[in-house]
Amino acid sequence: MYVYELTRELAKRGHSVVITSPTIGGLITEKSVEAGVKVYQSNKQIPEFNPDLIHISDYLTGPILTSRYPKIPCVSTIHSEFPMGNPFVSERIKKYICIRESIIDKVVKFDRIEREKCIHIPNGFDTTRFHPTQHENNTSNIKVLFVGTIDKLRRATLTHLRAMCETEGHELQLVGLRSADYMDGHKNWIQPDPEVGGIWDIENYIHDCTITAGILLGRTTIEGWLCGKNGIIYDLNIDATIKSVKLHPVPKDVKEKYDIRNIVNQVEKVYEEAGV
């Protein structure tokens, strides 16, 4: 979703944008192509393309692209503090965009990236999709929405969240793919078709909930804020155990801070500083 929102807005501004990734297909690829972005599978085909800049979002494509384009300036976005989100580190990269400030601390300490090379620019969102609406859940029951893959990373969080909802009589709605079995049997669980890769109209589930829950400051929390919903954030240790659980009300500046248009304004400045 990060790459989709970023490239969609760049293409809208008239930039020529190509996505290359080892995993393509499904709904996000279709939406990207509809937005005017070309999409190619990196381990099979990279198009004849003369970029002004390479924007790397994962450690798999980083070596491929820096090797193919040895003189093109590069920037990179780091999406997570956890090992699964370890960055591609290279002298070629002029700037590392970190979607959370806590990521900067992690990569400086553990990945030996120079702090002056890091900048915090959060995820960007389509505020024409995510905004308050009159069609809200008006029942007296509290419905908690959790969106995310049911995996090892989220085990402690979801185990705690399910117990809390059961104790307090709240309804827990899950939306996400299954890669672990610890939530099997939960009745309110929407599992997307793996071939499709996700559920596009997630804003409808947000409007129908009372409050969101998620790990760290992720997309669901911000989407909920943009729709006027407070969010429970589970802050995690590096081993995915729970550090703290806190309710975060909707920030006053949420739309200005996370609107994709404002985010891309910041990203374009990074591109310019990188030498484009």
> Is the pTM here over 0.95, yes or no?
no
- The predicted pLDDT at position 105 comes to 94
What confidence category does residue 14 fall into, taking pLDDT thresholds of 50, 70 and 90?
A: very high
Please state, in angstroms and rounded to a whole number, the distance separating the CA atoms of residues 221 and 240.
18
- pLDDT for the residue numbered 48: 78
- Give me the pLDDT at residue 83, please: 78
Looking from the CA of 118 toward its CB, the CA atoms found within 13 Å total 23
Mean pLDDT of 232-249: 96
Give pLDDT, residue 41.
86
d(CA 16, CA 270): 17
Q: Residues, the chain, total?
A: 276
Q: Rounded to whole angstroms, how far apart are CA atoms 96 and 78?
A: 7
> For 106-125, what is each residue's pLDDT tens digit?
999 999 999 999 999 999 99
Q: How far apart are CA 242 and CA 185, in angstroms?
A: 23
The helix, strand and coil proportions of the chain, stated in percent and rounded to the nearest 5, come to 35, 20, 45
Cβ contacts of residue 210 below 8 Å, gap of 6+? Answer: 137, 141, 142, 143, 144, 229
Q: What is the pLDDT of residue 101?
A: 95
pLDDT at 269: 98
Residue 11 has pLDDT above 90, yes or no: yes
What's the pLDDT at 217? 95
β pairing state of 231-236 and 242-248: antiparallel
Looking at residue 275, the DSSP 8-state letter turns out to be T
Instruction: Tell me the C-alpha distance between 42 and 21, whole Å.
Output: 5
Read off the pLDDT of residues 149-163 as tens digits, 9 standing for 90 and up.
999 999 999 999 999
**Could you tell me the CA-to-CA distances from 273 to 74, 78, 180, 190, 266 in Å, in that order?**
11, 18, 43, 43, 11
Whether residue 13 has pLDDT greater than 90: yes
For residue 255, what are the CA distances in angstroms to 39, 66, 175? 29, 35, 24
Percent of the chain whose pLDDT exceeds 70: 96
pLDDT of 86 reads: 85
CA 7/CA 36 separation, integer angstroms: 9
- 8 Å CB contact between 231 and 214: yes
Task: Give residue-wise pLDDT tens across range 133-150.
Answer: 876 555 678 999 999 999
Residues 29/198, Cβ–Cβ less than 8 Å? no
pLDDT of residue 139: 61
Residue carrying the six token digits 């970023």:
6
- Please give the mean pLDDT across all residues of the chain: 93
Report the pLDDT value the prediction gives residue 110, as an integer from 0 to 100.
92
Q: Which of 52-56, 78-82, 137-141, 264-268 has the lowest mean pLDDT?
A: 137-141
Report the candidate in 176, 146, 152 with the shortest Cα–Cα distance to residue 164. Answer: 146
* pLDDT at residue 136 in the model: 56
